[in-house]
Chains A and B, each alone.
Chain A
Amino acid sequence: MRTLPIIIASMLAAPAAAQSSAIQFTEYDLDNGLHVILHQDASTPIVAVSVMYHVGSKNEEKDRRGFAHFFEHLLFEGSENIARGEFSKHVERAGGVLNANTTGDRTYYYEVLPSNQLELGLWLESERMLHARVDQKGVDTQREVVKEERRQRYENQPYGSILIEVLKRAYKEHPYQWPTIGFMEDLNAASEADYQAFYKKYYVPNNAVLVITGDFDPTAARTLVAKYFATIPKGANVVQPSIMEPPLEGEVRDVVYDRIQLPAVVTAYRMPANGTPDFYAVDLLNRLLSNGNSSRLNRSLKDEQQKAVYTGAFSLPFEDPGLTIMFAIANAGVDIKALETAMDAEVDRIRDQGVPAEELEKLKAQLETEAVQDRSRVAGIAGNLATAYMLLGDTKLVNTELDRYLAVSSEDLKRAANTFYNRKARVVLHYLPMSQKNP
């Protein structure tokens, strides 16, 4: 017999369950083309304000590599109403955090603030969009900072150059061939006019999406968005590059000598563009290979054969066709050719035998958990909404993308493995210790 308290408890539980099932959001456009997405969640008195611009390293000229990322640094420098160094002060003084990041496809800025500081966040982002200002001291300083970022993250770090080395061999035409951090000679060569032109071209409302998530009043938020963003003039239409990268002709095989002790094998294959049906199949293959201790590379290469200390397989989810990359660091004393053979054997096993249904179920259970975890922070939700709108073309995918994964069948995986893990069109890198460089 159900007692009253239990019935009440179950009634109380119901809305919570409903709330967690999907991310509720509204979206609309301002006249100047700025797309706005609002997602309200009052469980914590904080608010995330973010702007994603549809500009990444793929929008760069061949002799200005690293410009998009460099801009990310410059755009913390200030505006006509914010003196150099004050941008971050406004945020931190309000008890907030701020940061930004850049990929091949987009640049993303965000603040997470106490809920009473929404207007501050909107003011800051509108200043950044309308009339960011950079002085020479800012340019000079940030150029040095970026040099150190490059050293710290890519050069003074074992295996830190992997992505750079893979990209430059995996693409010949497409700007994905260079890393977002770019090259110092290009940044050194840039003039003030270059900066102005880049800013004017890409930092316009019609090339951006503004996302507000967290604890706010939607009506007030709309009014504030209008107040700070409606008057920002629309820019010229931004045309995204349409560079068709031809398939790799044959296998590109190379040795990279690095300051490492343990050799590593890297293989990279082209993969379909993010959001296309086969993208999800290949992304699932990467999870099959390396997500969790029971994944194939971890179990086989690390546990059973003890050939590797680390294995990984991951997708570069790009707007244009990206890459799927496999990576293994050899256990001490393991021959690098044996490691490569073992990696390839795992790919062959998928191509020949497919993926058993129960293993596919495991991947889907992992995805289901991830989908719930993705909803745990308003800042994370903001990023996912912006990405779904700008790079996948449909904000609703923030809730429905999981279905696309769940729709992938064992047959699809086998077919995708046979189509995309093409040994005649891939990059294979052997990372070897400097000491093995023959005199």
Chain B
Amino acid sequence: MATRQTQGLARLMRAPAIILLLIWMIVPLGMTLYYSFLNYNLLNPASVSWAGWFNYQYFYTDPAFFAAIRNTLVLVLGVLTITVVLGIAIALLIDKPIWGQGMVRILIISPFFVMPPVAALIWKNMIMHPSYGVFADIARAIGVQPVDWFAQYPLTSIIIIVAWQWLPFATLILLTALQSLDGEQMEAAEMDGAGPVSRFIHLTLPHLARAITVVVLIQTIFLLGIYAEILVTTNGGPGNASTNLTYLIYRAARLNFDIGGAAAGGIIAVILANIVAFFLMRAVGKNLD
């Protein structure tokens, strides 16, 4: 890609792809922005009128709004913490050569292949159900009152389900990083008198920093949009206890048929995602260079 001629040609050749991607992104965003300033309800689609900032005002003053933002952040942070910590622990365990290694690794990765609504349904009906879930069986077996997970700890339950789904991803990325750790470095540290804990803190963790950053960034993108798990388990309730921003937008659009309000929520979600991305990149982005 050196000479001036090839550069000009290259620009021309990649233009169609870039223009297509731009349209692909700009058109939905522009339409969402446009709708967010309209009074547009599907129950009365004939009367569409300019609303100004009303939709934003309405969304902002909704008592569910701040609860939803809080829940969104708790959900993201909770799942990130669990997946990174457990991911490192499991990666360290299965990094060692063991009998049946291939089988163990496939089993550990498999939750990732289960579709989110299916996974949530299994958790809801077979594991966390207060009367015939596995947890309830265990509680009764040890003589404790079973927990009604989705009523008592709705957000925690969803965090557990989502963390279960994303743990394989984190484990996989961290395992690959762990495998690239130089064995001689570890031996050098061993000779330098560093015990297992010191070696983990001074060598393994810094080595994993980049992989952890990748896990955090990619997962955050997906976790901000968690929706299916909430829909099939708690429906955002009780009250707004497990409603996140995505679910709130869904509620506006599909339960209240309020296209304008939902579009305003969408724009707010985009802004929130950008704020999160900004702080995230400042916090961990330096690990990526």
Binding between chains A and B: no
Residues of A bordering B, CB below 8 Å: none
Residues of B bordering A, CB below 8 Å: none
